[in-house]
Amino acid sequence: MDASSYALYHGVRRTRSTLRAWQRRPLPVVGAWVAGSALASAGLLVAVLVISELSGGYVQILQLRAPFATGDLGDIANVLGHNLLVLALHAMACVAGFIAGSSLPLQAQSKTGLSRWVHAHGGRIAIAFVACATAFSLSAQAYLLGHTLAGVAHFLKTSPALLLVGVLPHAVPELIALFLPLAAWIIASRRGEWDQLLAATVVTVAIALPVLVVSALIEAYVSPHLFTALTGIHSPIVGHWEGWTVYVRPH
For the chain, domain boundaries: 3-233+244-248
Question: For residue 81, how many other CB atoms are within 10 A of its CB?
Answer: 10
Q: Which residues of 201-212 are buried (b: 16+ CB within 10 A; e: fewer)?
A: bebbbebbeebb
Residues 6+ apart with CB under 8 A from 215: 79, 83, 170, 171, 173, 174, 177
Q: Which amino acid is at 38?
A: A
DSSP 194: G
pLDDT by 10s per residue, the chain, length 251: 444 443 444 556 778 888 898 999 999 999 999 999 999 999 999 999 999 988 866 676 666 677 877 888 998 999 999 999 999 988 988 887 777 666 655 555 555 555 555 555 565 666 677 777 777 878 888 998 898 888 888 878 888 999 999 999 999 999 999 999 999 988 988 887 878 888 999 999 999 999 999 999 999 999 988 988 888 876 656 555 555 544 455 55
Does residue 67 contact residue 217 with C-beta atoms inside 8 Å? no
26 CB-contact burial (10 Å; exposed 0-12 / middle 13-18 / buried 19+): exposed
